[in-house]
Amino acid sequence: MSKTESARIHEALDLLSSVAADERDHLRSVIAERYGDLKDLVGEAGNGAEKRFTQLYSTGKAKATKVAHDIDENVHSNAWMYIGGTAVAALLLGFILGRSRR
pLDDT tens digits, residue range 68-97? 999 999 989 989 998 999 999 999 999 998
Residue ranges of the chain with per-residue pLDDT less than 70: 1, 39, 41, 101-102
3-class secondary structure, 66: helix
Q: Residue 8 belongs to what domain range? A: 3-98
Report the pLDDT value the prediction gives residue 102, as an integer from 0 to 100. Answer: 63
Angle formed by the axes of helices 79-98 and 3-77, nearest 10°: 110
The domain total for the chain is 1
**Residue-averaged pLDDT of the chain:** 83
Burial letters for 24-35: b for 16+ Cβ neighbours within 10 Å, e otherwise?
eeeeeeeeeeee
Identify the pLDDT of residue 93: 93
